[in-house]
Each structure stands twice: as structure tokens, then as C-alpha cells.
Structure 1
Amino acid sequence: MAGPTTAQRGARQQESSGPPPARPPRPRTIAVLAVVLALLGAGGWVLYGSQWLRVEHVSVSGTRVLGPEQVREAADVPLGEPLVSVDTEAMESRLRQELPRIDEIDVVRSWPRGIGLEVTERTPVLVVEKGRKFVEVDDEGVRFATVSDAPKGVPLLELKPSRSRSASASLRRFGEPRLVREAVRVAGALPAAVARRTRTVEVRSFDDITLKLADGRTVAWGSGEKGAAKARTLTALMKAAPDARHFDVSVPTAPASSGS
């Protein structure tokens, strides 16, 4: 009987001998790993444990009405803490909550030891009289601040719902906040020359908004719809009838003027 072939003997020897032993780590590899770990540890210590990268000063930019110190106080930046661990999102949320005048806020780390607070304030486009003070309203209809003196050049918003059924239905359907936003929409569509002379935006219903100008003239604007067309029509109408006292562009394709 023939014995095993050379190939079979080699296979048996390989099975009996098992896998080759693992090679021990090379000294160079161990050294590299040690250096990497040392660097990571040193970096972590520099960021969190050392005194080199801790918050020491807070800068404020972009304020117009708010004072820088007012913003710093509301931000409550943790001085002395590691700069890398400052919670910028929580700080932004706190600033918006405590200072409604802030429209946008960006909290940035100013390495190596500072925090920057970049502020964008809301701009009033209308004011609502409240007692002896005024509430500022921005271009989104947000009532964001109460001031003692009305800002110059900002029209007064008067909500005077009429007693007609349509006006009552308008107020019930849309609510006061929606009527305020509609007035803001009208104010934003006015031609620049008219906007400068507008003193009051009177809202009686959703589709009954009237402008009162500084010289006593009035403009029946209607609703906030088709604002661009109404602006163009009003500009042309005022040129064509410069002595008129009342203008009606509620239907821009059929404008009218009266009085002299």
C-alpha cells in the first residue's frame, strides 16, 4: 500500500504545528504610541487644566440701544473657566430670553482667552402707545421693547376695530397679532418718500388700513395684499394730483384722489 504523498505530509505538518506565533511589537511602534498618548494628555491638560486658555475677557459688538455691560450681565459668561468648555448655545438662549431686543446673537470663542458676543438688535417699524409709554414692533410683528419716548421716524400703530360686522368678523378670525402683522406688512411696502412722512398706521379691519401723513393727508391702503402695486400706484397718483388731501389705492387698478 502506498504511503502519503509529499503534499499530504506537508499539510499534516502544518496542522500539527498550528499558526505562526505573533510577532512582538516593534520598539519603534511602541515609541510612536507613547509619544501620541503623551501629546494627547498634554493637549487635554492645556485645554482643560492649564491657566493659559481660560476665559478672562468678554467683548460685545453690534449694539445700538443696548449697553455692552447690559449684554455681558445677561450672558453671564463663566470667567475663569476653560474656554473650550464654555456652553455657547446655552449663552445664546439666555441672551434671547433676557433681552428680547436681540434679534440675532452669535457667541464665539476668541482664542486664547476671550468670548465675543456679536449682537444684532431688532429694528422698530411701528410703535404702539401703551399708557404713557410706547411698545416697539419689529418687521415680523414682534413686540420686543417698551420705551418712554417713541423712536423718531417710526409710525404709530393704532388698532381701531370698527363696529361693523365685517370688522368684528375680521378681528375674531385673524386676532390682534395677525392685524399687527398686516400693519407691519403695509409699513414695509410703502414708497420711501411716503414712509418718511407717515405718522400713523390705522387698522380698522384686515382690509381697512389707512395711513395718516405728517401734512394731514391720508391714504386708504386697504389690506396688505398687492403692496408693490399699491406703492407704484400711490407714487404716480401723488405726482398727478399733488394738491389732493386723500388718496385711495385699496384697489390699485382703480385708484382715486379727492380734496384740495
Structure 2
Amino acid sequence: MAGPTTAERGERQQESSGPSPVRRLRWRPPNPRTIIILVIALVLLGAGAVWLLYGSPWTRVERVSVSGTRVLTPAEVREAADVPVGGPLISVDTNGIESRLRRELPRIDTVDVVRSWPHGIGLKVVERTPVLMVQKGGKFIEVDDEGVRFATVSQAPKGVPALELAVHSSESSAASLRRFGEDGLVREAVRVAGAIPASVAHSTEAVKVRSYDDISLELSDGRTVDWGSGEKGAAKARTLTALMKAAPDARHFDVSVPTAPASSGS
């Protein structure tokens, strides 16, 4: 009888010996010399970055650019900003510059101070826009859409209605002044000015405030509009537009109650 073949003997040997043991990888700590080299490299890299940002002539402020001005000049903005030209760009206090500009130049509504690497500072300005003006002693005080009186000019801005505060004309006017304060009445006048329809706004010469709910418009052709308070401005604007079309020869319009408008005079 023939014995086992070579292949069969190999299979028996594998079965008897069992699976091959798995070789485990052992972690070896890095060489101390390698650690020292890495630490020195990191320190040098950090020191180089600090020098580049704070000590290098390659990252210093060399120019200050201004954009967005309409009435103010770039020179005025740069002077008020007082950016430390020649100093490290990284150390420029952008928040401090923004606060200083709004304090020194009230005409500025918002300003964004940005670093323009490697040598520039950019001042992006948004100026306030007057919606009303108050005449005082031959000068004109501009009032923006938030009721902020931000600038005094020698010439009246074109296309901006005058704000007339007639709050001492009666007892009800005085009571309204005590309740809302002059600033509150100014803000209410601003609400009215912002709601005037475009077809009427260009001919509006004055917004007259007698009390919180007694505001009227005086137009350049002598016509007048009783507007009431600043509430329901959109509805009053639509009503006034329709009323003027329906009664083109009228001299007086009342939209203080937009659901019951009236016109008179011819």
C-alpha cells in the first residue's frame, strides 16, 4: 500500500503546527536628539513669524485708502482716523479707529477698517443721508432716517424738506412734547418723511409737527397735506396718491385717517 504523498505530508504538518503567530509592532520613543531638533525648529519658526509681523519692514503700514465718501473728503477721514503709518500692520487697533471716526465725524454712519496685506489699511465709509433739515440761526442741521442730527451746514441740502417743530402752539402740542420729548417727535417726523410717495416727495418743502398725531406737509406749490401720525404710512401714501389723481385741483388733502380721506379747495 502506497504511503502519503508529499502534498499530504505538507498539509498534515500545517495542521499540527497551527496558525502562524502575528508579529506585533512595538512603539519606540523618538530619539532625544530628534526631539531637540524639532523643538528648536518650532521655536525658530515662531520667532520668525513674530519678527515678520512685528519687526519686519515688509509688513508695516505704508498707505491708508478711503472709499465711500460723498460729502466728506478722503483727507478728512484719514486725518480723523489717525492710523499709525509706519507701525506694524498687525498691531493696528481697527476697533479703536472705527470708534474714533464715528466720534470725530458724526456724518459717518458706519465704517469698516480692514487690513490690506502687506502694507495697507482700508477705510470703507458709509455716510448718513439727510431726510430732513432744521434751520437754526442761518445754519441748517441735517437729520437722518433715524432722527439723528448729525451735521450743521451753511447751505440747505437740495431736495431735503425742512422740519418745523411747532410744539408750543397749543396745550395739546405742549402735552405731546412732554410725553414724547422733542427727539421722539423728530423721529415721528422722520417716519412721515420716509413714507411720502415719490410723486409728492420731490415737491415737499416742509414737514410740520404740532404734536405726535398732528403732522402735516407743505408742498412747493402751496398745497398742504394733513398726515397725522407716522402710523399706517404705506396706506396713507397710497391714499394720497389716489386722492391727488381724483382731485387734481384741490389745495388741501387730509389722509390722517386713510380709510376716510378728504380734499378741499380749488
TM-score (norm 1): 0.89
Sequence identity of aligned pairs in percent? 72
Residue 190 of structure 1 corresponds to 196
Residues of 2 paired with 1:77 and 1:125: CA distance?
A: 32
Residue 238 of structure 1 corresponds to 244
Shift, 1:165, TM fit: 2.3
Mapping 1:20-169, distance limit 5 Å:
25-169=31-175
> Residues 193-228 of structure 1, C-alpha deviation per residue, up to 9 Å, x if partnerless?
111110000111111111001111100001111111
CA RMSD of aligned residues (A): 1.3
Point out where structure 2 has 5 or more consecutive residues left out of the alignment.
1-27
Counterpart of 1:98, as a letter, is E
Q: Indicate conservation of the 8 Å contact 2:131/2:190, yes or no.
A: yes
Larger Rg: 2
Residues of 2 paired with 1:53 and 1:217: CA distance?
A: 63
Shift, 1:162, TM fit: 4.6
Residues of 2 paired with 1:23 and 1:113: CA distance?
A: 45
Shift, 1:23, TM fit: 5.8
Point out where structure 1 has 5 or more consecutive residues left out of the alignment.
1-21
Residue 179 of structure 1 corresponds to 185
Q: Indicate conservation of the 8 Å contact 1:141/1:181, yes or no.
A: yes
Shift, 1:167, TM fit: 1.4
Residues of 2 paired with 1:103 and 1:44: CA distance?
A: 36
> Residues 20-68 of structure 1, C-alpha deviation per residue, up to 9 Å, x if partnerless?
xx96744333322222221111111011111110111110000000010
Residues of 2 paired with 1:141 and 1:56: CA distance?
A: 38
Q: Indicate conservation of the 8 Å contact 2:169/2:210, yes or no.
A: no
Q: Indicate conservation of the 8 Å contact 1:162/1:205, yes or no.
A: no
- SS of alignment partner, residue 108 of structure 1: strand
Residues of 1 paired with 2:144 and 2:207: CA distance?
A: 14
- SS of alignment partner, residue 202 of structure 2: helix
Instruction: Give the total of aligned pairs.
Output: 239
- SS of alignment partner, residue 112 of structure 1: coil
